[in-house]
Amino acid sequence: MRKKIVAGNWKMNKTVGEAVALVEGLKLELANVVGVEAVVCPPFTALKTVSDLIADTEIKLGSQNMSSEDDGAYTGEVSHGMLKELFVKYVILGHSERREYYKETDYWINKKVKKALEKNLRPIVCVGEKLEDREAGKTEAVVEAQVRGSLADITAEQFEDVVVAYEPVWAIGTGKTATAEQAQDVHKFIRGIIADMVGQEAADGLRIQYGGSMKPANAAELMSQPDIDGGLIGGAALDAASFAGIVNAGM
Ligand code: PGA
């Protein structure tokens, strides 16, 4: 049985002061959650503060990116060691905004995924097609290339620590959610690719989140699909009650 995982990707939102207010709200809202893993991914600048605030809770900490390198002359980058010191457990890698605006490719995402796994951090690896891909009937081809590229050379055993997030780019921040059926189809397709790459057992154990305008109102239907194991939440993660509403929908 796969445990559902709902992660809040705060993106470039929340100063330290604002992060404190949000986390105080989340601690109250999520106090009685069982059976669902809740993760918050603040910007780097708020990680330390949020880490301290959630230390006595079940809420886990994630970052929104990580360097593929250990240390050294990489201006603006943040390493696995810096994250682990703050008790970060998850790292979002290959988000579509990083692919689009910062030209991150599957090659680099794969390097980061390998580094994260080697250092016992759990990558949340994002894949998803753009609107033009979907309209051209290329959804499966695009998603398959991203899955095979960003997860190349990962062993079946390592897959136990991997989470994949399927996020159709046309649904991110647009209010347009994929229907439960559209999402389920792609999730099932992704699980099939993983089975082909590393075997059925690892594929069956892999948690695949849906992301793209997930809200309390649509979360239960999405997460009731057989291959949807949680959500990666942007906009709705910036408000304690709405994030908690989504986490509760996974229970
Ligand atoms: P959204 O973002 O929930 O605001 O659509 C999801 C994401 O980008 O992870």
- The string of pLDDT tens digits covering residues 194-207 is 999 999 999 999 99
Given a contact cutoff of 8 angstroms between Cβ atoms, the answer to whether 113 and 162 are in contact is yes
The closest alpha carbon to 188, from 239, 147, 133, belongs to 147
**Ligand 1 neighbourhood includes 8 CB (under 6 angstroms):** no
Q: Shortest CA distance to 36 belongs to which of 3, 11, 77?
A: 3
Torsion sign (Cα): 84, 110, 129, 248: negative
Please indicate whether residue 63, judged by its CB atom, sits closer than 6 Å to ligand 1. Answer: no
pLDDT in tens, 78-124: 999 999 999 999 999 999 999 999 999 999 999 999 999 999 999 99
Query: How many residues comprise the chain?
Result: 251
Residues of the chain with pLDDT under 50: none
Ligand 1 close to Cβ of residue 233 (< 6 A): yes
Ligand 1 centroid – CA 97 distance (Å): 10
What is the 36 CA–ligand 1 centroid distance (Å)? 19
* Predicted model pTM: 0.98
Q: What are phi and psi of 63, to 5 degrees?
A: -110, 170
Amino acid at 89: K
Q: How far is the CA of 234 from the centre of ligand 1 (A)?
A: 4
In angstroms, the CA 191 to CA 207 distance is 9
Name the fold adopted by 4-249.
Answer: TIM Barrel (3.20.20)
- pLDDT attached to residue 128: 98
Distance in Å, CA 96 to ligand 1 centroid: 10
User: Distance, CA 117 to ligand 1 centroid (Å)?
Assistant: 24
Does the Cβ of 104 fall within 6 Å of ligand 1? no
Q: Is 172 in the pocket of ligand 1 (CB under 6 A)?
A: yes
Nearest residue CA, atom 6 of ligand 1? 234
Alpha carbon distance 53, 92 (integer Å): 21
Taking the C-alpha atoms of residue 33 and residue 229, their distance in angstroms, rounded to an integer, is 16
Q: What pLDDT score does 1 carry?
A: 84
Q: By CB neighbour count within 10 A (0-12 exposed, 13-18 middle, 19+ buried), where does 77 fall?
A: middle
**Strand, helix or coil at 38?**
strand
Atom 3 (ligand 1) nearest CA: 234
**What is the amino acid identity at position 174?**
T
Whether 231 lines ligand 1, by a CB cut-off of 6 Å, is: no
Mutate to test the pocket of ligand 1, among 233, 238, 246, 247 (most ligand atoms within 8 A of CB): 233
**pLDDT of amino acid 169:** 97
Residue 48 pLDDT:
98
- Tell me the pLDDT of the chain averaged across its residues: 98
The closest alpha carbon to 186, from 217, 223, 144, belongs to 144
Nearest to 169 by CA among 100, 246, 121, 68: 100
The DSSP H or E segment spanning 182 is helix 180-198
How confident is the model at residue 167, as a pLDDT? 98
- Cα–Cα distances in angstroms (integers) from residue 41 to residues 71, 88, 183, 186, 215, in the given order: 22, 9, 23, 25, 17
Q: Which residue out of 6, 65, 172 has the highest number of ligand 1 atoms within 8 Å of its CB and is therefore the one to mutate?
A: 172
